[in-house]
Amino acid sequence: MDHIEQLITRILNYKVGFYERFDDALPGEMEGFLLNIVLFGMTGSGKSALINNIFKSLGLSQPAVTQTTGKEGTKILESCDLSGSVTFYDTCGFGFGLDKTEEGELFRILYGIERPGDDLTRDHASAQKAAAAGVGAHRLERPPIADQMHVVVWVIKANDIRFEQGKYREIINFVLHQLKSETIPIITVITFDDEVQKMPNPDEERKKLKEAAIEVTGSEKRNVFFIANSVTDQEDLASVYTKRVLQMVEQALKCGERSIKIRQTQRESPKKMAHYSRSESEPGGRPVRVPVENTEPPAYPKSLP
């Protein structure tokens, strides 16, 4: 069995708890636990294509996500389960400004307040949601760890001139600081590597892009991946890109479990989470989400792998 086949087998057979022991889990907390991976990035960076590439690389024929649009201009938070153990969340692309409305949306997704199928149209209603969080959406009350995001895959388009000019950092610096403080790891995926390959010195260009990505997102070297942007069923991913996609997924699983473990260990009280009453639940048993501001300052834990 070659390396790609081994990766496919491990990912398809993955269950939460494969890499870590969750000694600080609440009774019953890990039953049916899904590892949540959310994709963020600027508009046009290739997030949906990446999710489809993941399924394609695993040999799965079912479609992943298609950027569902409801009424004109409406964007929906989409999710796609993989083998009953991992859920990928595809988000609306963020504009280059990343204003308070978009920032608030980002944190509501991170904390599991926005659920799959929720309307993410950036209009007056979304502005009201952002205003309800007060001066800092990052201080929203947290739902249970199981409903939060456990890994962020930050997708960057390799030939985006704004990235090449180093302008991303000032836009997302605060968000990245909060992700670090919340022990939410970041996997950086640089898309459109097939375009980089056409450049006169592709290896040198990749080196520069990787250094820039690490500076912007704070990812470790081992958490930065270059992939092509194949999007149609007729196009086959080259084996090198298939391998990178699978390696990225496996690394996300490892980082996600580490994040869950740290968050469980750092809970002030294993009996808390009473803010979300199970007596008032959505269909499927999930608690009703109320975006209440949390005034406690964030902790600054150890770095993630």
Comparing 58-67, 126-135, 196-205, which segment has the lowest mean pLDDT? 126-135
**Average pLDDT, rounded, for the chain:** 76
* CA distances (Å), origin 26, targets 23, 29, 224, 236, 257: 9, 5, 33, 44, 15
Secondary element (H or E) of residue 262: helix 239-265
Rounded to an integer, the average pLDDT of 52-80 is 67
Comparing 165-169, 227-231, 232-236, which segment has the lowest mean pLDDT? 232-236
Rounded to an integer, the average pLDDT of 295-305 is 40
SS (H, E, C) 140-192: ECCCCHHHCCCEEEEEEECCCHHHHCCCHHHHHHHHHHHHHHCCCCEEEEEEC
Alpha-carbon Rg for the chain, nearest whole angstrom, is 19
Stronger pLDDT, 102 or 226, i.e. the higher one: 226
Given a cut of 60, is residue 292 above it in pLDDT? no
Q: Which residue has the tokens 């990912």?
A: 11
Confidence tier at 165 by pLDDT (50, 70, 90): low
Confidence tier at 8 by pLDDT (50, 70, 90): very high
Q: Which residue has the tokens 């958490």?
A: 223
- Name, in order, each residue with C-beta under 8 angstroms of 15's C-beta and a sequence gap of 6 or more: 85
Q: Which of 224, 214, 221, 152 shows the shortest CA–CA distance to 182? A: 152
Residue 181, token pair as written in the block: 């403080």
Architecture of domain 3-11+34-59+76-265: 3-Layer(aba) Sandwich (3.40)
Rounded to an integer, the average pLDDT of 103-113 is 81
Comparing 158-172, 214-228, 229-243, 271-285, which segment has the lowest mean pLDDT? 271-285
Task: Specify the DSSP class assigned to residue 46.
Answer: -
Q: What is the pLDDT of residues 19-39, one digit of tens each?
A: 999 999 999 999 999 999 999
Q: Where are the domains of the chain?
A: 3-11+34-59+76-265
Residue 192, token pair as written in the block: 């459109």
Stronger pLDDT, 135 or 146, i.e. the higher one: 146
Residue 160, token pair as written in the block: 């985006």
Task: Tell me how far apart the alpha carbons of residues 192 and 128 are, in angstroms, rounded to a whole number.
Answer: 36
Residue-level pLDDT at 38: 93
Residue-level pLDDT at 201: 93
229-233, Cβ contacts within 8 angstroms, sequence gap of 24 or more: 229/46, 229/49, 229/191, 229/192, 229/193, 229/194, 230/49, 230/53, 230/56, 231/49, 231/52, 231/53, 233/56
Given a cut of 80, is residue 155 above it in pLDDT? yes
Comparing 67-81, 226-240, 244-258, which segment has the lowest mean pLDDT? 67-81
